[in-house]
Amino acid sequence: MQDAQILIVDDEEAILHMLNTILHKEGFKQIDTACTGEDALTLCQTKKYDLILLDVMLPNRSGFEVCPLIRQTTNAPIFFLTARSTDLDKLSGFALGADDYITKPFNPLEVVARIKAHLRRHRQKSIPVQPAQKVYNYKDIEVNSLSGEVKVKGKVVELPAQVYQLLLFFCKHPNQLFSKGQLYEKVWGEEFFGEDNTVMVHIRKLREKIEDNPGQPRHLVTIRGLGYKFVSNGGNHEHS
């Protein structure tokens, strides 16, 4: 991962220096910087980058204007750096092709953590994988990984996308114990910082779909103090 080519685009010299320094300390050695959108476009046309940090408030051309042009030359993750933090600004950034949105002032170590997570996920997508099992059958639960169809006791149930991904992960790893942090990193593909309730919320939603009694789950059980396990035979186990 440390061989990644990174481009930092910002018109504030202090931010360029700070990000350059922290990334070098984390082992990233191939870093280019640019102060304008025009310079960034020129670099992207001549070099291949693995990730781009792009300031929104640039002179002449804003990051919002430059991002779609960069997207024409690369599929690398693009992070917007900006002091503009409204929901509309964020939605505009994602609509233009950004992969993440970092609000100034920011914690440099959090930026590095996000960079590592995106690089890891982006590279995993490019690694050829062996064909996976297509249909998973566990007692009264059936998951077709090709069609995305889920059946419980023979009846099709609709799952939100991330809830489905969580179920599919459990189906691929039956009877294995996973902590909340492990699930977040493996299913959501991002580093877990310890305070997020995302996993618990999705576990509850999944139980509501696949369990006869979500309050007393037989399939998706809690191992107190340790994490969660998908029991392939749907027996009676500890829960909470």
**Mean of per-residue pLDDT scores for the chain:** 85
Give tens-digit pLDDT for 103-116.
Answer: 888 888 888 988 98
Once rounded to an integer, what is the mean pLDDT over residues 137-156?
92
Once rounded to an integer, what is the mean pLDDT over residues 93-112?
81
Domain range list for the chain: 5-126, 135-230
Question: What is the per-residue DSSP string for 133-153?
Answer: PSEEEETTEEEETTTTEEEET
Question: What CA–CA distance (Å, rounded) separates 43 from 80?
Answer: 17
Q: Whose CA is closest to 120, among 192, 54, 61, 50?
A: 50
Structure tokens at 73: 């030359």
Question: What CA–CA distance (Å, rounded) separates 81 from 10?
Answer: 8
- pLDDT of 163 reads 94
- pLDDT of 238 reads 37
pLDDT band, residue 119 (cuts 50/70/90): confident
Report the topology of domain 135-230. Answer: Arc Repressor Mutant, subunit A (1.10.10)
204: burial class by Cβ within 10 Å (0-12, 13-18, 19+)?
middle
- pLDDT of 134 reads 85
Question: What is the per-residue DSSP string for 54-91?
Answer: EESS-SSS-HHHHHHHHHTT--S-EEEEES---HHHHH
Q: Does domain 5-126 have CATH number 3.40.50.2300?
A: yes
Once rounded to an integer, what is the mean pLDDT over residues 198-225?
93
User: pTM of this prediction?
Assistant: 0.51
Residue 112: half-sphere exposure toward Cβ, Cα within 13 Å: 15
